[in-house]
Amino acid sequence: MRKKRAVVPGSFDPVTYGHLDIIERAQAIFDEVVVAVIENRAKNQLFDLSERAEMLRDEVGRWPTVSVDTFSGLLVEYMKKERAQIIVRGLRVMSDFEYELQLALINHELAPEVETFFLAASGRYSFLSSRVVKEIASYGGPVAEFVPPKVEARLKKKYLLERG
Of 74 and 160, CB closest to ligand PNS: 74
Residue 62's alpha-carbon distances to 25, 27, 31, 67, in angstroms, are 13, 11, 15, 10
Give the residue, chosen from 26, 49, 53, 75, that forms a contact with ligand PNS under the rule CB under 6 A.
75
Q: Per CB under 6 A, which region of 8-16, 46-54, 59-67, 132-140 contacts ligand PNS? A: 8-16
How many CB atoms sit inside 10 A of residue 71's CB? 19
How many CB atoms sit inside 10 A of residue 3's CB? 9
Of 132 and 160, CB closest to ligand PNS: 132
Of 95 and 142, CB closest to ligand PNS: 95
Give the dihedral of Cα atoms 74, 87, 55, 48; nearest 10 deg: 10
Q: What strands, in cross-sheet order, belong to the sheet with 32-38?
A: 66-71, 32-38, 5-10, 86-91, 115-120
92 is catalytic: yes
Q: Per CB under 6 A, which region of 44-52, 100-108, 133-141, 146-154 contacts ligand PNS? A: 100-108
Say whether residue 9 binds ligand PNS (CB under 6 A): yes
Least CB distance from residue 151 to ligand PNS, whole Å?
15
Residue 53 and residue 16: Cα distance in Å, rounded?
Answer: 13
Window 77 to 96, contacts with ligand PNS (CB under 6 A): none
Q: Which of 43, 62, 83, 163 is catalytic?
A: 43
66: which strand partners?
33
Say whether residue 74 binds ligand PNS (CB under 6 A): yes
In the chain, % helix, strand, coil (3-state, to 5) comes to 45, 20, 35
Give residues in contact with ligand PNS (CB under 6 A). 9-11, 38, 74-75, 103, 106-107
Q: Known catalytic residues?
A: 19, 43, 92, 130
